[in-house]
Amino acid sequence: MEKILDRFLRYVSIETTSDEESESQPSAAREWDLLKLLRDELAALGVEVTLDEYGYVMAGIPSNIDKKVPAIGFIAHVDTAPDASGKDVKPQIIENYDGGDIALKGVPGLFLKPSEFPEMLRYKGQTLITTDGTTLLGADDKAGVAEIMNAVQYIVEHPDFRHGPIKIGFTPDEEIGRGVVKFDVARFGADFAYTMDGGEIGELEYENFNAASAKIHIQGRNVHPGSAKGKMRNAILIATELNGLLPVEQRPEYTEGYEGFFHLISFNGSVENADIAYIIRDHDREKFEQKKALMTQVCDFINVKYGEGTAALVLKDQYYNMRAQVEPHFHVVEKAVKAIEMAGIKPKVQPIRGGTDGANLSFKGLPCPNIFAGGLNFHGKMEYVPLQSIEKASEVILNIITLYAS
């Protein structure tokens, strides 16, 4: 059986960064490279598999037991976040981690330090997979992909392993909020599913943020600075003024747990024009609507002050909290808790300070909690994942299958 480390390293070597400016699906042609590879690997294992025109890999393993049990799905996404480069990823393998600083050798003087990321110390003695400092790693969510594929290979190679119907799904474009827009839940055929897309070992989530995006174009007026008095409207300064009207304490760096935020994710401007973009998040639906209303009010204030059309807002909902969709089927959470405990891990049931494909799938009628994939510091050059966490996540998949079969 192939080592899960080798499988993971093969997947992260393939560039799959999604593109939020693209209207196609998948959003970037490079995502097809991994999607086609996964299709071919599943077929080589003897698993019935399809890859459709939207980039969805769907596969199924028939039940090998007599009694009727639910069909259980496991889903991961192949794309990596546009926040950092995913091209030419050069992982570093740190065996028997000693608790010290880790040099990210692609950037002289750059270190992954437990003084800045104290969680690292939980993994002393384990094998850490890090970046070299020039790219992200891609454990979000290629660790999840590897964990699912490892479990599939185990099942195929161990015909005595008892299981009900198993469904496998790999999706594109999760990182830009479009992962399951065209996902056909009926064709997938699962009664319940799990996304393997969480963070640190033990995490289990069935609550997530309500999410929206806000894009604002600021129209300024450029006049020669020598004669600008009473005439110039500097779009850069107006954009910074608008940002200053939002509550400072509701920025990501000041929030945790169930606290929501306004996150400024891009700012491009000149005197004449500026464009700023935010993501808006809150677990509480009422507070989420209040945040969107505040964003609208702030733009209205700018338009009153500087003239109508100065701030043009495009506000779009992205996904909603899946808790209400999952709780009526709470056994999916209970089974996951038990499966994590069976792997010798203490479950950490907590809200996701983000979102997953599972949130949108839950609203499509497929209750879909999220299980840890094992990585930390996603979306940037400080990303890393303990090998033992990847191995345990794959074990949890097999435990869930066993629990439903029994």
- The residues carrying an active-site annotation are 79, 174
- Distance, CA of 56 to CA of 170 (rounded, Å): 6
**248 — phi, psi (to 5°)?**
-60, -40
For residue 274, the SS3 value is strand
- Distance, CA of 318 to CA of 334 (rounded, Å): 28
- Distance, CA of 14 to CA of 35 (rounded, Å): 10
Q: Within its chain, how far is the Cα of 223 from the centroid?
A: 44
Decide if 58 contacts 49 (C-beta within 8 A): yes
DSSP structure string for 198-260: E-STTEEES---EEEEEEEEEE-B---GGG-TTT-B-HHHHHHHHHHTS-GGGSGGG--TT--
* % helix, strand, coil for the chain, step of 5: 35, 25, 45
Q: Kind and range of the H or E element at 397?
A: helix 387-405
With a CB cutoff of 8 Å and minimum separation 6, the contacts of 71 are 164, 165, 166, 167, 189, 190, 191, 192
For residue 277, CA distances in Å to 85, 218, 274, 344 come to 20, 11, 10, 43
- Distance, CA of 374 to CA of 393 (rounded, Å): 7
